[in-house]
Amino acid sequence: MCCRKLRKRFTDEIKRGLLFALISSNRPTHEMLALNLLDQRAAFENRFEGMSNVVFNYTDFEATRNKLIKTIRRSLNEADKQFLLSFNGLEPDWSVYDYHQFPSVKWKLMNLAKFKRESPEVYQLQMEKLAALLVS
């Protein structure tokens, strides 16, 4: 699938879902946006190869994965980036995305506050990594 088609199919609704997943996850936001890509060849060959009627090999998988990552990063506008920074900074701007009522979001904020209290240096380092990632 070409990048233009992927961008066209990556709707605002999908982006809103992605942002919700980012602020609901137990993983740090910067890690989810800057993935450590593993070689998934064995899993692809053992679990997925032959499941589709469309010819799709591991090279196609890697190319699609890379395009999706680029599409996601490019889709984040300034308001999205500021929202992620404000959320991770424990002062979310709910006027951008009103997700405050969800238990998973409350849980994440509670854990971020605890993390900041108990490991302020590591918390600050993660905030800096997120800020640098969102600028790039």
The whole-number pLDDT of residue 1 equals 47
Q: How far apart are CA 136 and CA 131, in angstroms?
A: 9
In the chain, the amino acid numbered 12 is D
pLDDT confidence tier of residue 50, bands split at 50, 70 and 90? confident
Q: What angle do CA 108, 110, 115 make, to 5 degrees?
A: 90
Q: What tokens were used for 57?
A: 């090999």
- Over the chain, what is the mean pLDDT? 91
User: In the predicted model, is pLDDT for residue 80 greater than 60?
Assistant: yes
pLDDT confidence tier of residue 104, bands split at 50, 70 and 90? very high
User: In the predicted model, is pLDDT for residue 66 greater than 60?
Assistant: yes
- CA dihedral for 23, 36, 68, 130, sign (positive or negative): positive
Domain ranges of the chain: 3-135
Closest alpha carbon to 58 in 71, 68, 45: 45
Angle (deg, nearest 10), helices 12-24 and 78-88: 10
Closest alpha carbon to 87 in 6, 21, 15: 21
Q: What tokens were used for 3?
A: 């990048």
Q: Which tens digits make up the pLDDT trace of 53-63?
A: 888 889 998 99
